Amino acid sequence: MLHSLFNVFLISLFFYNNCIAHHYTFTVKEVPYTKLCSTKKILTVNGHFPGPVLKAYKGDTIYVTVRNRANENITMHWHGVEQPRNPWSAGPEYITQCPIRPGSDFTYKVIFSIEDTTVWWHAHSSWTRATVHGLIFIYPWLAEPLPFLEADHEVPLILGEWWKKDVREVVEEFIRTGGAPNVSDALTINGHPGFLYPCSKSDTFHLAVQEGKTYRIRMVNAAMNLILFFAIANHTLTVVGADGHYTKPLNATYITISPGETLDVLLQADQNPENTYYMAARAYQTGNITFNNSTTVGVLRYISSSKAKTSLFSGSYPNLPFYNDTSAAFGFFTKIKSLFSGQVPVQISRRIITTISINLLRCPQNSCAGPNGSRLAASMNNISFVTPSHVDILKAYYLHIKGVYGTRFPDFPPLIFNFTAENQPLFLQTPRLATEVKVVEFGEVVELVIQGTSLVGGGLDHPMHLHGFSFFVVGVGLGNYKISDEDPSSMYNLDDPPYKNTMTVPRNGWIAIRFAAVNPGVWFMHCHFDRHQTWGMNVVFIVKNGIWPNQQILPPPDDLPPCH
Ligand SMILES: *[C@@H]1O[C@H](CO)[C@@H](O)[C@H](O)[C@H]1NC(C)=O
Ligand SMILES: *[C@@H]1O[C@H](CO)[C@@H](O)[C@H](O)[C@H]1NC(C)=O
Ligand SMILES: *[C@@H]1O[C@H](CO)[C@@H](O)[C@H](O)[C@H]1NC(C)=O
Ligand SMILES: *[C@@H]1O[C@H](CO)[C@@H](O)[C@H](O)[C@H]1NC(C)=O
Ligand SMILES: *[C@@H]1O[C@H](CO)[C@@H](O)[C@H](O)[C@H]1NC(C)=O
Ligand SMILES: *[C@@H]1O[C@H](CO)[C@@H](O)[C@H](O)[C@H]1NC(C)=O
Ligand SMILES: *[C@@H]1O[C@H](CO)[C@@H](O)[C@H](O)[C@H]1NC(C)=O
Ligand SMILES: *[C@@H]1O[C@H](CO)[C@@H](O)[C@H](O)[C@H]1NC(C)=O
Ligand SMILES: *[C@@H]1O[C@H](CO)[C@@H](O)[C@H](O)[C@H]1NC(C)=O
Ligand SMILES: *[C@@H]1O[C@H](CO)[C@@H](O)[C@H](O)[C@H]1NC(C)=O
Ligand SMILES: *[C@@H]1O[C@H](CO)[C@@H](O)[C@H](O)[C@H]1NC(C)=O
Ligand SMILES: [Cu+2]
């Protein structure tokens, strides 16, 4: 008995030490890449696009040294990792740190706690995340069984967007002109546009599968500005995880995935092995805005197929929903349920209601490139968030530096109007520019209602992401949230709602999320469409320290990048 226990101990230690590193080095540098018939230099981690997969056991702490050997500022974010008490490693530029400057290094301490399944990492300064991103695979401890059939293989799958121009030029241009950013030139699967795009026959993602085996696709939508539909021809996708948490198994013929979201999907290689099957992704887009309606395609073939090489261009395409099919998009989102029941906080101590809007700012002589010569902006509760430029908010909070931010983010929209009306009076379009945070006491149970508005252009979907927490999505609806309702919980799922870090607010609709504010720190919340983040659809939560030492922010690391 003693002997066998000892053996188990040895084996697990051996496995632990050999399979999973606890220290990684990310060297950020520019490397030339050729796609769509043109070559440009892009920012990469260790020369790779997409970047390397990190692996961790549940509850592990890993260290990632980011060495900036590029010629622009950078920060790194560990998307979906709650980082208990450790906002110092959260990453958003000028929110929790000043950037790592060219030639400098910073070691991030990434503290895993309650996360299971798959999350990801990406740069969090300007639009550098376009090419600086990768997946994080989380494994349960050896003794802990998976709640679904163990797969035979794991497949990392990153959906992305590619611009032929340097992304810095795209950003510089739309900030300068006040118009919308140029849309991308391609969608990608693991960096490959696929053979439907020019010059891309050899730049196509291939997945070779063995008949009868099960594949666990660990995927993320790393696109900058597009929600995507994805499917694989003739194969059912079984969703078992979302945003780093287990879900009830869900069989689907297609999935919808928003920027920032991760999914764990099981794929059975159970179709005729002689055929070729395509996987494909393209945009879900409801608003009246320009987007790239092209399709990225990858190839799934069976290893045993005799005609593998010749049949490449005669495969089956999957059926994807039409671009503006809201019931298909939200039909998928709302079918995702947590594996577990009864974990939602029922008593809330604070309800915050916020609008999210696209806005316009006047320009002298109507000289900007937005509608009517104005400048496009975006807001929450009519405040277009102004990012500090000299000191980050965390440092200002920790060291009591005044004048960096205000604490007057309102609990309620400053004006009540028909948020989703077809025609809005123009005077509502102009936001207030400010750096206002929401301060929350340690331990408060927050319900946050996020209401989309139809201001400027009639409304859009918005994937909203919160750092530092996972939240329960207790409600999703179209139209106006009924603010006057005494007890809105009759329209909520308080049993098994999904536990997420990113949730899409439907066009002219709302979501209600709940989280317990038990993670002290400074936590960014923003739209994961990067153009909206750039325009100010952001807010910061400051969760104060609790009374016990283990309820307080950890001390800052020694190598924190200086601000000036
Ligand atoms: C954006 O698109 C416009 C119109 O097609 C073009 O003139 C401009 O050069 C583009 N800018 C960038 C940075 O791609
Ligand atoms: C979409 O991408 C295709 C292929 O790169 C490109 O030819 C087209 O111009 C793009 N569409 C828009 C609206 O930019
Ligand atoms: C795959 O699906 C397509 C479209 O649904 C169908 O036309 C085709 O016959 C199917 N192919 C196989 C091999 O099942
Ligand atoms: C889901 O799909 C898998 C594989 O195609 C199948 O084995 C399973 O029975 C399906 N489950 C349900 C509930 O339909
Ligand atoms: C869509 O936007 C364009 C300008 O970007 C405008 O001319 C057009 O009227 C809009 N269409 C609708 C249906 O709102
Ligand atoms: C895609 O957009 C182009 C213009 O950019 C348009 O000509 C084409 O009809 C669109 N395709 C679909 C399927 O909507
Ligand atoms: C979706 O787009 C099609 C074609 O552009 C249009 O006919 C249809 O009305 C749109 N549907 C919705 C719900 O907007
Ligand atoms: C542009 O101005 C005209 C005239 O004032 C107005 O009717 C229209 O709604 C404005 N468009 C936007 C997007 O503000
Ligand atoms: C708000 O606007 C929507 C869309 O035009 C409309 O259907 C709804 O009746 C309006 N609600 C109120 C209270 O006026
Ligand atoms: C936002 O604030 C500005 C400035 O105070 C005001 O003009 C505008 O009407 C407000 N809009 C909304 C939707 O509250
Ligand atoms: C890089 O960061 C430093 C320190 O915050 C700042 O002074 C500098 O302006 C930044 N450079 C760019 C190009 O943003
Ligand atoms: Cu948005």
Q: Within this chain, do residues 86 and 198 fall inside the same structural domain, yes or no?
A: no
Q: Within this chain, do residues 329 and 381 fall inside the same structural domain, yes or no?
A: no
pLDDT interval class at 14 (50, 70, 90): very low
Q: Is the pLDDT of residue 207 over 90?
A: yes
Q: Is the pLDDT of residue 15 over 80?
A: no
State which residues have CB under 5 angstroms from ligand 12, the bound ion.
Answer: 462, 527, 529, 532
Task: Determine the pLDDT at residue 17.
Answer: 41
- Could you tell me if residue 362 is inside a domain? yes
Q: How far apart, in whole angstroms, are the C-alpha atoms of residue 448 and residue 451?
A: 10
Give the residue-averaged pLDDT of 316-322: 97
pLDDT in tens, 438-447: 999 999 999 9
The first and second tokens of residue 420, run together, are 């989703």
DSSP state of 1: -
> Does residue 99 line the site of ligand 11, with CB under 6 A?
yes
Q: Is the pLDDT of residue 378 over 90?
A: yes
Give the residue-averaged pLDDT of 477-495: 83
SS3 call for 165: coil
State the closest ligand 11 atom to the C-alpha of 390, by its place in the atom list counted from 1: 5
Phi, psi (5° rounding) for residue 231? -155, 160
Substitution site in 417, 419, 420, 483 for ligand 9 pocket (most atoms within 8 Å of beta carbon): 420
- Could you tell me if residue 561 is inside a domain? no
Q: Within this chain, do residues 373 and 519 fall inside the same structural domain, yes or no?
A: yes
State the closest ligand 9 atom to the C-alpha of 422, by its place in the atom list counted from 1: 5
Q: Is the pLDDT of residue 7 over 60?
A: no
Least confident interval from 265-269, 380-384, 432-436, 485-489: 485-489
Check the CA dihedral 389-83-250-449 and report its sign.
negative
Q: Within this chain, do residues 389 and 535 fall inside the same structural domain, yes or no?
A: yes
| Torsion angle (degrees, nearest 10) of CA 362, 364, 369, 370 | 10
The H or E element spanning position 13 is helix 2-19
* Full residue range of the structural domain in which residue 521 is found: 350-551
Substitution site in 168, 182, 531 for ligand 1 pocket (most atoms within 8 Å of beta carbon): 182
Output the domain CATH number for residue 486. 2.60.40.420
Give the residue-averaged pLDDT of 8-35: 71
Substitution site in 418, 424, 451 for ligand 9 pocket (most atoms within 8 Å of beta carbon): 418
pLDDT over 90 percentage in the chain: 90
Q: How far apart, in whole angstroms, are the C-alpha atoms of residue 199 and residue 37?
A: 5
The H or E element spanning position 331 is helix 326-333
Task: Determine the pLDDT at residue 531.
Answer: 98
pLDDT interval class at 144 (50, 70, 90): confident
The H or E element spanning position 350 is strand 350-361
- Could you tell me if residue 7 is inside a domain? no
Q: Within this chain, do residues 541 and 459 fall inside the same structural domain, yes or no?
A: yes
Which residue, 54, 324, 268, 263, is CA-closest to 152? 268
Burial class, 23, CB count within 10 angstroms (exposed 0-12 / middle 13-18 / buried 19+): exposed
Q: Is the pLDDT of residue 12 over 60?
A: no
Expressed in angstroms and rounded, the spacing between residue 314 Cα and the centre of ligand 2 is: 24
Number of Cβ within a 10 Å radius of residue 489: 16
Expressed in angstroms and rounded, the spacing between residue 455 Cα and the centre of ligand 8 is: 11
Expressed in angstroms and rounded, the spacing between residue 293 Cα and the centre of ligand 6 is: 6
- Tokens 């590619």 sit on residue: 162
Substitution site in 211, 232, 234 for ligand 3 pocket (most atoms within 8 Å of beta carbon): 234
Number of Cβ within a 10 Å radius of residue 200: 19
Q: Is the pLDDT of residue 551 over 90?
A: yes
Question: How far from 274 is each of 270, 427, 524, 545, CA to CA, in Å?
Answer: 12, 62, 49, 61
State the closest ligand 9 atom to the C-alpha of 420, by its place in the atom list counted from 1: 2
Ligand 4: residue whose CA is nearest its atom 10: 251
Expressed in angstroms and rounded, the spacing between residue 479 Cα and the centre of ligand 9 is: 8
Which of 282, 299, 333 is the C-terminal boundary of a domain? 333
Ligand 2: residue whose CA is nearest its atom 7: 185
Q: Is the pLDDT of residue 135 over 80?
A: yes
> Does residue 236 line the site of ligand 4, with CB under 6 A?
yes
Cβ atoms of 409 and 383 closer than 8 Å: yes
Ligand (nearest to CA of 460)? 12
Which of 139, 174, 205 is the C-terminal boundary of a domain? 139
The first and second tokens of residue 238, run together, are 């079984």
Ligand 8 site residues (CB inside 6 A) read: 360, 371-372, 426, 456
Q: Within this chain, do residues 197 and 224 fall inside the same structural domain, yes or no?
A: yes
- Could you tell me if residue 226 is inside a domain? yes
pLDDT interval class at 10 (50, 70, 90): very low
The first and second tokens of residue 429, run together, are 């379009």
Task: Determine the pLDDT at residue 458.
Answer: 94
Q: How far apart, in whole angstroms, are the C-alpha atoms of residue 187 and residue 13?
A: 42
Q: Within this chain, do residues 20 and 102 fall inside the same structural domain, yes or no?
A: yes
Q: Within this chain, do residues 311 and 388 fall inside the same structural domain, yes or no?
A: no
pLDDT interval class at 268 (50, 70, 90): very high
Ligand 1: residue whose CA is nearest its atom 5: 182
Cβ atoms of 207 and 155 closer than 8 Å: yes
Give the residue-averaged pLDDT of 43-68: 97
Q: Within this chain, do residues 114 and 159 fall inside the same structural domain, yes or no?
A: no
- Could you tell me if residue 385 is inside a domain? yes
Task: Determine the pLDDT at residue 6.
Answer: 36
Which residue, 165, 133, 156, is CA-closest to 46? 133
**HEC string of 432-489?**
EEECEEEEECCCCEEEEEEEECCCCCCCCCEEEEECCCCEEEEEEEECCCCCCCCCHH
SS3 call for 209: strand
Task: Determine the pLDDT at residue 314.
Answer: 84
Substitution site in 316, 319, 320 for ligand 3 pocket (most atoms within 8 Å of beta carbon): 316
Q: Is the pLDDT of residue 196 over 70?
A: yes
Ligand 4: residue whose CA is nearest its atom 8: 251
Which of 308, 333, 358 is the C-terminal boundary of a domain? 333
> Does residue 271 line the site of ligand 11, with CB under 6 A?
no
State the closest ligand 9 atom to the C-alpha of 508, by its place in the atom list counted from 1: 4
Q: Is the pLDDT of residue 195 over 60?
A: yes
Which residue, 542, 536, 558, 549, is CA-closest to 400? 542
Burial class, 370, CB count within 10 angstroms (exposed 0-12 / middle 13-18 / buried 19+): buried
Give the residue-averaged pLDDT of 306-333: 87
pLDDT in tens, 217-251: 999 999 999 999 999 999 999 999 999 999 999 99
Task: Determine the pLDDT at residue 43.
Answer: 98
Task: Determine the pLDDT at residue 308.
Answer: 56
Q: Is the pLDDT of residue 300 over 70?
A: yes
Ligand 10: residue whose CA is nearest its atom 12: 428
Task: Determine the pLDDT at residue 349.
Answer: 94
Q: Is the pLDDT of residue 543 over 50?
A: yes
What's the whole-number average pLDDT of the chain? 94
Furthest C-alpha separation in the chain:
85
Task: Determine the pLDDT at residue 309.
Answer: 60
SS3 call for 525: strand
Expressed in angstroms and rounded, the spacing between residue 526 Cα and the centre of ligand 12 is: 8
Ligand 9 site residues (CB inside 6 A) read: 418, 420-422
Q: Within this chain, do residues 272 and 175 fall inside the same structural domain, yes or no?
A: yes
Number of Cβ within a 10 Å radius of residue 236: 15
Question: How far from 495 is each of 60, 133, 343, 346, 450, CA to CA, in Å?
Answer: 29, 34, 8, 10, 21
Ligand 10 site residues (CB inside 6 A) read: 382, 414-415, 427-428, 430-432
> Does residue 268 line the site of ligand 4, with CB under 6 A?
yes
pTM over 0.75: yes
Ligand 4: residue whose CA is nearest its atom 1: 251
Q: Within this chain, do residues 400 and 436 fall inside the same structural domain, yes or no?
A: yes
The first and second tokens of residue 456, run together, are 């400027």
DSSP state of 318: P
- Could you tell me if residue 344 is inside a domain? no
- Could you tell me if residue 564 is inside a domain? no
Give the residue-averaged pLDDT of 26-30: 98
Give the residue-averaged pLDDT of 123-146: 93
The first and second tokens of residue 382, run together, are 């009519």
Ligand 4: residue whose CA is nearest its atom 14: 251
Ligand 4: residue whose CA is nearest its atom 2: 251
Q: How many domains does the chain have?
A: 3
Q: Within this chain, do residues 232 and 371 fall inside the same structural domain, yes or no?
A: no
Expressed in angstroms and rounded, the spacing between residue 462 Cα and the centre of ligand 9 is: 21
Least confident interval from 98-107, 173-182, 306-315: 306-315
- Could you tell me if residue 342 is inside a domain? no
Substitution site in 239, 251, 271 for ligand 4 pocket (most atoms within 8 Å of beta carbon): 251
